[in-house]
Structure 1
Amino acid sequence: MSSSPSPSQSSPSAWKYSTDKMVAMYLRFVARIVIMGSALLFAAHLGGYNPAKYLTTNKVIGVIIILAVVASILYYVVDRNFYLSFLGWAVYPCGSLAEKVPLNADTSITVTVPPNVNVIYWASEPSKAEDQPIDNPWDAYANYDNSGVVRADSTGSAVLRFRSPSSYQVGLFNRTLTRHVHYRICKHPGMLSDVKTVMI
């Protein structure tokens, strides 16, 4: 009677965050705790309590807390995903997506990603030059038909093919974003990277 295969033979090893991703994740968590704690201390001060008095009598602790607060604020000031969290990492079963190219694709860009991964990409819809910039992203992307999925080759090269996109305006001050394409990398069959952008 043949022996049953070992667990390592019968199924692939479980995926987990790399060390640098784990460190970044914990740093974000700690920074949020520090900022929330600072907000609570400020609220306590407004309520008539004086937490600053304790900090001034314990200077070492006070300096540590001040440095932690400043570092946390600086960390998030430059973190786009803090303001636009929907652009960050996302859980999604992306490993088995079928490759597709938008109809009438006339523009292509090559990006470098990890080898043999799926890349999901999308761009705004084409429009006449005189109609640009489109005044909001919702009209610019319409139904997100100008999107596709491509698999990178063994060297990590992925060719994104799409219809030539339009520029559009975003935000309260109508800032114009020039033509570009967004993409996410399928880092693992169940995990999408944050949104990356290539200008055209």
Structure 2
Amino acid sequence: MNNFKLYLWAMVLILVFALYEVFFILFSSKTSTFFKFIAVLVLIAIISVGLKRNTYLPFLGPTVLPPIFLQNEVLPEGANFTFKVDIPEAEGRKVMYWGSQPSKTLFEDPYIAYGEYKNSGITTVKNGEAKFVVFCPSSYRVPGTLLSPHVHYRIVESNGLLGEVKTVYVQCE
């Protein structure tokens, strides 16, 4: 966890310093028009990178998993909530999905909410839809935010490449 916090602070520091430099260049009377133009391009890049979730949470981005770990269809045993997600671009591909543990009480920590990831499965996209079967996931808190029930998923690309984590919010009732 300390490495993650260090990474997070490093990203914030880099973006803030780059932003400072851009404004220094833009508002300096001694800077040429060419360098001001470059500074505007850098500002656009800072905004683009700074607004992306994966900049601060890189573990949610694309990753690799050896295909041997991807079984055929897997469902949480006894799961009673089914829903479908439209993913027409992933026809015939496998999708890994997971939700928090079912609970009537609110989890105060995402690590406790997901526990041992027993509320997870693997499905295949058929007719442009992925069918997810889970126990109704519970809400949980992350610092400063209450997250409603949702399920995360990754589309399995070729050769074990997994797409970024996507999220679909659900209402179980």
> TM-score scaled to structure 2, two decimals?
0.77
Partner residue, 1:199: 169
- % identical equivalent positions: 36
1:152: how far off?
Answer: 1.2
1:187 paired with 2:157, answer yes
Query: Which residue, out of 17, 30, 44, partners 1:71?
Result: 44
Partner residue, 2:8: none
Q: Which runs of 4+ in 1 moved over 6 A?
A: none
1:161: how far off?
Answer: 0.4
Rg larger in 1 or in 2? 1
1:69: how far off?
Answer: 2.2
Alignment of 1:32-181 (within 5 A): 39=18, 56-94=29-67, 97-98=70-71, 99-113=73-87, 114-128=90-104, 131=105, 133-153=106-126, 155-171=127-143, 173=144, 175-181=145-151
SS at match of 2:157: strand
SS at match of 1:145: coil
User: Which deviations, in whole Å up to 9, do the C-alpha atoms of 1:16-67 show, x marking residues without a partner?
Assistant: xxxxxxxxxxxxxxxx9xx68x65x95xxxxxxxx95xx7545222212220
Unaligned stretches of 5+ in structure 2?
1-10
Aligned counterparts of 1:75 and 1:68: Cα–Cα separation in 2: 11
Aligned counterparts of 2:64 and 2:167: Cα–Cα separation in 1: 19
> Given residue 75 of structure 2, which amino acid in structure 1 is its aligned partner?
V
Alignment of 1:18-33 (within 5 A): none
Contact 1:119 1:151 in 2 (8 A): yes
SS at match of 2:37: helix
> Given residue 124 of structure 1, which amino acid in structure 2 is its aligned partner?
S
> TM-score scaled to structure 1, two decimals?
0.67
SS at match of 1:189: helix
Contact 1:92 1:190 in 2 (8 A): yes
Aligned counterparts of 1:72 and 1:82: Cα–Cα separation in 2: 12
1:76: how far off?
Answer: 1.7
SS at match of 1:66: helix
> Given residue 152 of structure 2, which amino acid in structure 1 is its aligned partner?
H
Contact 1:96 1:189 in 2 (8 A): no
Aligned counterparts of 1:167 and 1:187: Cα–Cα separation in 2: 29
Aligned counterparts of 1:93 and 1:64: Cα–Cα separation in 2: 45
Partner residue, 1:17: none
